Amino acid sequence: MAVDTFHYDNKIVRNFGIAAMTFGIIGFLVGLIIALKLIFPDFLGFIPELSYGRLRPLHTNAVIFAFAGNAIFYGVYYSLPRLCKASMWSPILSQIHFWGWQLIILSAVLTLPFGITTSKEYAELEWPIDIAITIIWVVFGVNMIMTIMKRREKHLYVAIWFYLATFLTVAVLHIVNSFEVPATLLKSYPVYAGVQDALVQWWYGHNAVAFFLTTPFLGIMYYFIPKAANRPIFSYRLSIVHFWSLIFIYIWAGPHHLLYTALPTWAQALGTVFSLMLIAPSWGGMLNGLLTLRGAWDKVREDPVLKFLVVGVTAYGMVTFEGPMLSIANVNAIAHYSDYIIGHVHNGALLWNGGLTFAMLYYITPRIYKTKLYSVKLANIHFWFATMGALFYVIPMYWGGITQSLMWKQFTAEGFLQYPNFLETVVQIIPMYALRAFGGSLFIVGALFGVYNIAKTALSGSLIVDEEAQAPALIAETENHEEKWHRRLEGRPLKLSLIVIVTILIGGIVEYMPTALIDSNIPTIESVKPYTPLEVAGRDIYIAEGCNNCHSQMIRPFRSETERYGEYSKAGEFVYDHPHLWGSKRTGPDLHRIGNKYPDSWHLRHMYDPNSTSPGSIMPAYTWLLKKETDVKSIPSKINALRSVGVPYAEGYDAIAIRDLKAQADEISTGLRENGFGEVEGIQITSEKQIIALIAYLQRLGVDISGNNNPFEGLPSDSRMGANVKEN
Amino acid sequence: MGVIVLLIAFSLLVALTFLGAFFWAVKSGQFDDPQTPSMRMLFDDEPVSKNNKTLTNKTD
């Protein structure tokens, strides 16, 4: 039998490893900074680019797409060629993939802190970057699938199935969720509005966790646990059942992010049922990983690789138990919007994703550098720092989350809210925030030990750039003449299903989506009107500053919430919200009924110095909103973009929108001046300032439902706009 | 709520793709042997040529 000689490209593996470590440390540090900002709001001063609302998306994007993303590619580029007994199909595509991905990360660093964001969680990057992500992701997929096509091992090991599912599903999720209409070069509005946008967002958000942070790491688990323990997986049969059941169930569980919202009950119930079912494949996989080590636990005592793998898989088991439990409505009612969820995700992120990544680094580095790990002792120290760090992070978040949530819901015997002042519930858990920051610091110190150890290991050896390997060639299927035609047919579904369908999908979406969605955006509440141009500008400032990272705009139908915030939120109120801004966490109170609750001057003082209106507040001061001017130039193109996604602005309104904007801004600034707020500590509050637009937006929030409110009344275009806007 | 139809359609499409892949896998004998693949992945074949400078990674 002919034996082929080929090479494994270790350089690309190393590069992804370096990128994962570098961006990991950066992402962790940004996380620590925002954790500290919740304890010391004036930490690092009030610099726009370093404010909490702008850095939090940077943190989540850095750890998910830069750290975990590079870690996934690190694992795939190492294990896939070895499992296929073939080189990666195209070294050029590997290079494009690597550098393209790093450029995307760089573009995130260059946009998010500057307020260029879509506000959709884990999909914050703006439309040009979305396109770049799609291209690079397809490059990765093509390279992977072609490698599989050219394999010398007929059987596809289970890890490969997990990698394939990752590629396919993330591609579909990303495309469906990123359907947006550009207004300017760096600003777009999603095609979906309100409830629809929230649905798509959490269908994406949930499955991003499933197919970006779970399935690729399960593939990694199925490769590296057997390798590190040098024994086969506990049950290969179970791994097959695990894979197919997990991917079939996962994609239906998204609605559990929207319990008690305007989503139809049957869809909520569906999400809950599938989430509960998920526990079976998840735990099957976890046990399969852990039981592989039966009879080899003595190795776990010594080998840091196995330690990280074992704790990682155990954390996966904990998180996948929590997930289904949190999907039960009654539990969700308490945990949702609280810091419990932050604890939940970090349990997974720090130990499952982080643990498996460091296990890979400790496993692969000595092998591709043909050397030994620099210090096993240091790796063990890292392990304990990581584990203790995660515990110190997660437990205070659980504790604080439940504490705060119960305080929100507590009534006195007389039937009043026991803690009517939201701030009281925040101050209560600041010690927990401090403990969390301590835990996070421990984790980072550990990671630094890890990076040092890996670097020392690499320096003590030399990289085997092209690792030689040999394997007999796979007998080409066409050589089998008897079965020729039907073997070829059998071989085709893989090609067709994995490449062509994705391409077809894109075309299908482009044609079908706009018509299907815009038609269904017909408002169900007569009095709900589109935003005025000034409010649109203010809303974009709200998005740019990332207010939705701490404030929700979705009041659930609980008495504790309607007492605190007002009437619960209705689906019909959000029909012009491109994008929705429901948020997922209440570090501050809900804002959906903030409109007309306080005078304009209250908002002005609150933004300039939150402590002046709310003593003890941990909200940062937004002094720059009083100094910077609103971007007026882009208003016409924004109005056009919004009209094209279904907001009923009259034809030609874009031409006169700026006049409306200025008139409304003058009205607000005049009102402020008359009340003695013409200037704040020497800063002139003129109508061009961003704060004016933001106040206009905040005062509009949740007021339409109260009745005959025409926001365009009194504006120059009133007579021309009125009919068109009202009748839609 | 029109978007639910869309999401279900896309979810079904993904699921059907997987179903297709599953049928292909079963028919082409991917899962005929649930034993040896788990062992085989542990072995990384070393090159047979004597004078090669590089070694494949060895599991200890």
- Say what the ipTM of the complex is: 0.79
pLDDT tens, A6-22? 999 999 999 999 999 99
Number of A/B CB contacts below 8 angstroms equals 135
Query: CB distance from A464 to chain B under 8 Å?
Result: yes
Q: Could you say which of A82, A239, A513 has the minimum Cβ distance to residue B44?
A: A82
Residue type, A534: L
Question: Is the pLDDT score of A607 beyond 70?
Answer: yes
Higher-pLDDT residue of A633, A720: A633
Beta bridge partners of A683: A680
What is the model's pLDDT at position A2?
80
Say yes or no for a CB contact (<8 Å) between A199 and B7: yes
Q: Which residue would you say has higher pLDDT here, A175 or A485?
A: A175
On whether any CB of chain A is under 8 Å from the CB of B51, the answer is no
Mutate to test the interface with A, among B22, B38, B39 (most CBs of A within 10 A): B38
Q: Does A150 touch chain B (CB under 8 A)?
A: no
Least CB–CB distance from A230: residue in B34, B42, B47: B42
pLDDT given for residue B5 in this prediction: 77
- Average pLDDT of chain A is 90
**Cβ–Cβ contact B32 with A under 8 A:** no
Q: How far is CA A408 from the centre of its chain?
A: 26
A494 confidence band (pLDDT: 50, 70, 90): low
A467 contacts on B by Cβ (under 8 Å): 54, 56-57
- What confidence tens digit (pLDDT) does each residue in A544-601 have? 999 999 999 999 999 999 999 999 998 889 989 999 999 999 999 999 999 999 999 9
Contact in structure between A309 and A356 (CB atoms under 8 Å)? yes
**What CA–CA distance (Å, rounded) separates B44 from A468?**
11
Residues of chain B under the 50 pLDDT cut = 50-60
Residue A196 contacts B where some CB pair is shorter than 8 Å: yes
- Helices (H) and strands (E) counted in chain B, each on its own, are 2, 0
Joined together, the tokens standing for residue A433 give: 């925030």
Cis peptide before A533 (omega within 30 of 0): no
Q: Do A95 and A136 contact (CB within 8 A), yes or no? A: no
pLDDT-wise least confident of A210-219, A455-464, A487-496, A605-614: A487-496
Query: Phi/psi class of residue A22: alpha, beta or left (left: φ > 0; alpha: ψ in -120 to 50)?
Result: alpha
Q: Which residue has the higher pLDDT, A435 or A475?
A: A435
CB atoms within 10 A of CB A506: 15
Q: Got the DSSP string for A311-372?
A: HHHHHHHHHHHHHHHHTSHHHHHHHTBSTHHHHHHHIIIIIIIHHHHHHHHHHHHHHHTTS-
Residue type, A686: T
Q: Is B12 on the interface with A (CB under 8 A)?
A: no
Q: What is the mean pLDDT of residues A148-173?
A: 93
Query: How many Å lie between the alpha carbon of A195 and the closest alpha carbon of chain B?
Result: 8
In chain A, residues with a C-beta closer than 8 Å to the C-beta of B45 are 85, 469-471
| Residue A469: strand, helix, or coil | strand
Select from A551, A516, A621 the least CA-distant residue to A179.
Answer: A516
Alpha helices in A185-253 (DSSP H): 194-212, 215-229, 236-250
Instruction: Give the whole-angstrom CA distance, residue A435 versus residue A446.
Output: 17
Inter-residue contact A63 to A31 (CB < 8 Å): yes
Closest chain A C-alpha to B46 CA, distance in angstroms: 6
| Mean pLDDT value of segment A654-661 | 92
Instruction: State pLDDT tens for residues A380-406.
Output: 999 999 999 999 999 999 999 999 999
The shortest C-alpha distance from A485 to chain B (Å) reads 14
Distance CA A624, CA A631 (A): 14
In three-state secondary structure terms, A473 is coil
**Pairwise CA distance, residues A82 & A478, whole Å:** 24
CB contact under 8 A, A516 and B23: no
By Cβ distance, the residue of A195, A239, A490 closest to B27 is A490
Which of B17, B49, B60 to substitute to test the interface with A, most A CBs within 10 Å? B17
**Residue A92: what residue type?**
I
Cβ separation B38–A520 shorter than 8 A: no
Tell me the two tokens of residue A379.
């790796």
Q: Note the pLDDT of residue A391.
A: 97
Q: Residue A252 is encoded by which pair of tokens?
A: 């239906």
Under an 8 A CB cutoff, do A370 and B55 touch?
A: yes
CB A610 within 8 A of CB A619: yes
Q: What percent of chain A has pLDDT over 70?
A: 91
Highest mean pLDDT among A17-21, A206-210, A526-530, A594-598: A17-21
CB contact set of A368 (below 8 Å; sequence gap of 6+) = A10, A13, A14, A78, A463, A464, A467, B57
Mean pLDDT across A107-111: 96
At A632, give phi and psi (nearest 5°): -95, -30
Per CB-CB distance under 8 Å, the chain A contacts of B40 are 153, 155
Please state the rounded mean pLDDT for residues A655-679. 93
User: Minimal CA–CA distance to A225: which of A239, A212, A211?
Assistant: A239
pLDDT of residue A489: 45
CA-based nearest distance A513→chain B, Å: 8
Q: How far apart are CA A49 and CA A61, in angstroms?
A: 16
Band the pLDDT of A209: cuts 50, 70, 90: confident
Q: Tell me which residue of A434, A433, A272 sits closest to A338, measured CA to CA.
A: A433
CB contact under 8 A, A196 and B59: no
Residue A267 has pLDDT above 50, yes or no: yes
Dihedral pair phi/psi, residue A8, rounded to 5°: -95, 130
Q: Any chain B CB within 8 A of the CB of A298?
A: no
Q: In this complex, do A155 and B21 lie within 8 Å of one another by their Cβ atoms?
A: no
Of A200-214, A274-288, A689-703, the one with minimum mean pLDDT is A200-214
Asked if B33 and A3 come within 8 Å (Cβ–Cβ), the reply is no
Rounded Cα distance, A588 and A698, in Å? 15
For residue A231, what are the CA distances in angstroms to A224, A316, B37, B41? 10, 21, 12, 10
Q: What are the CA-CA distances from residue A485 to residues A477, A478, A481, A488, A524 (Å)?
A: 10, 8, 8, 5, 57
Which pair of tokens denotes residue A153? 């091992």
For residues A496 and A61, which has the higher predicted lDDT (pLDDT)?
A61
pLDDT of the residue at A508? 53
Q: Do B60 and A244 touch (CB under 8 A)?
A: no
CA distance A433 to A226: 39
